[in-house]
Amino acid sequence: MKPGGSIIQTLKVVVQPGFHVNSDKPKDEFVIPLKLTWSGGPLEVKSISYPKPEEIQVGGAALTVFTGTFNIQTEFKAPEHVQPGTTAMVGKLHYQACNNQMCYRPAIVDVRLPVAIE
């Protein structure tokens, strides 16, 4: 990547069969949304794009969720003044896995993206 340039990075997420995670914009304010955050590294985050969720019925509630394998895309921009070299972007994926009977404790997965600046 060159100073001043942009790149789109795709994070592949796999949810085990029989489970779902709430979407990034759930209908119910009391459920925990899926959220990718970036907190460290030399690049600026321009945008984070989630796929279109599916709607399911659990009990009497309609939920917007992600299941199976899906991608989250982040657009990064390298500042003009960024120093050349190899480094990493550090992020976290926040989620709560559920099945149709119960939800598990919220969890966080660390994400590390190697970055090479020319």
Q: Domain boundaries in the chain? A: 6-117
Q: Which CATH class is domain 6-117?
A: mainly beta
pLDDT score recorded for residue 60: 84
pLDDT tens digits for range 62-102: 999 999 999 999 999 999 999 899 999 999 999 999 998 99
Q: Which of 111, 109, 114, 91 is nearest to 15 (CA)?
A: 109
pLDDT over 90 at 110, yes or no: yes
pLDDT score recorded for residue 100: 87
Contact 10, 70 (CB under 8 A): no
pLDDT tens digits for range 5-41: 999 999 999 999 999 999 999 988 888 999 999 997 8
Q: What global pTM score does this model have?
A: 0.91
